[in-house]
Amino acid sequence: MDRGRTDPVHQPVLRPDRPHRRCPLMPFNAESAFELMLGMGLAMARILPCLILVPAFCFKHLKGPLRYGVTCALALIPAPSIGRALALENDAWFTIAGLLLKESVLGILLGLLLYAPFWMFATVGALLDSQRGALSGGQLNPSLGPDATPLGELFQEALIMLVILSGGLSLITQLIWD
């Protein structure tokens, strides 16, 4: 197979009958890697507080590097478009730091808003447990531990299962990304 001639510096000489094609969709060089990392940082600033606060993602069971790996995997979806938009703006570092702070605050507020239905179901379960006297041992002996109510946990887990089975988890992630 003829691959064309090479010049003394070992660069391929392009043949006129075969145009040289490069991938126009994703040139990967240091600049695009920097844009991707910048987009990942800004995407993770919004996604991480939401994932920590919303119980549907079960981050109370995921600890350490696994938590951040899941966050990075979810941040890979919007990161290229965020990086491209920031590259077009040519912003200064203090503007990027302001965007990072804004995305973090937005992630916390969005996480609190998305946590409200789960908190409401846990509160209804705690109210029912309080009415049936399941929490009276904690009033007499405070060293028994945290106020984990059985019905509150059950209602919250039931809502998580309902969200997952009804396809609401993809809706929640789409809401976080947009």
Structural domain spans, the chain:
30-134+146-177
Q: How high is the mean pLDDT of the chain?
A: 79
What does the pLDDT read at residue 107?
92
What does the pLDDT read at residue 53?
87
pLDDT at 82 over 90: no
Q: Look up the pTM and report it.
A: 0.71
Per-residue DSSP letters for 65-104?
Answer: HHHHHHHHHHHTTTHHHHHHHHHHHT--HHHHHHHHHHHH
Task: DSSP letter for 57, please.
Answer: G
What does the pLDDT read at residue 54?
86
pLDDT band at 120 (very low <50, low <70, confident <90, very high): very high
Find where tokens 């009276």 sit.
Answer: 136
pLDDT at 32 over 90: no
pLDDT at 7 over 50: no
Task: DSSP letter for 6, please.
Answer: B
pLDDT band at 158 (very low <50, low <70, confident <90, very high): very high
What does the pLDDT read at residue 93?
81
- 24 residue type, one letter: P
Reading the block at residue 66, the tokens are: 């696994």
Residues 110 and 87 sit within 8 Å (Cβ to Cβ): no
pLDDT band at 64 (very low <50, low <70, confident <90, very high): confident
Report how far Cα 99 is from the mean position of its chain's Cα atoms. Answer: 16
Higher per-residue confidence, 28 vs 3: 28
